[in-house]
Amino acid sequence: LGYRLVRLIRRQNSVQGELLLAQEQLLDMNLALRSQALEDGLTGLANRRLLDQFLLDELGRAKRDHLVVGLLMIDIDHFKHFNDTYGHLLGDECLKAIGALIKDNIRRPGDLASRYGGEEFAVVLPGTDLTGAFVVAEQIRQAVAGAQIHSDRGAPIRVTISLGVSAIRPLQNDTPEMLIQAADKALYAAKAAGRNRTMMAS
């Protein structure tokens, strides 16, 4: 009876160990899936879904605490021509490289760099006014202009970006769309003015 009891206890301990291991693996898988759901698979930056939620949360916080929120909209200049000339594989490498440069120039842990879609990126800068956001935008623009994309065709390729900057101290009825539209308008102005430049929303 004692021998059978010892065997039963050992078996129970073994089953509990297996259950704990399975639980840990399930938690790891859930964390990985959650990360994938909120991360752009190519660049590793936040995806559009996370950007939308982050902007909504930050504007809500800014309304409560009377803070300002800055936004950068970033577009790679002549990216269609780049893809047509060098191919989509190198186009993907270009997106990764620019995503990394954007991330490297976002200093504060509370800021969010994201891929907005296609060759467009967005950066949310909580607590940053229009002038401060412009300074960050110019750091990113200069970093990209000074970098090179390497290909198997010989000479490194230089790429430039255009940026639109907006900032808002939101009132009760202000929405994320208003901030995005203002930055987008400034971005189009930067492209119309010759590209490789930063323009602030009026």
Backbone angles phi, psi at 112, to 5 degrees: -130, 125
> Checking DSSP bridges between strand 112-117 and strand 161-168, what pairing results, if any?
unpaired
How far apart are alpha carbons 12 and 25 in whole angstroms?
20
CB atoms inside a 10 Å sphere around CB 138:
15
What's the start-to-end Cα distance of the chain, in Å? 86
At which residue do the structure tokens 């970098």 appear?
Answer: 147
CB 200 within 8 A of CB 137: no
Catalytic residue among 24, 93, 119, 120: 119
Active-site residue, 24 included: no
How far apart are alpha carbons 200 and 165 in whole angstroms?
5
Q: What are the catalytic residues? A: 119
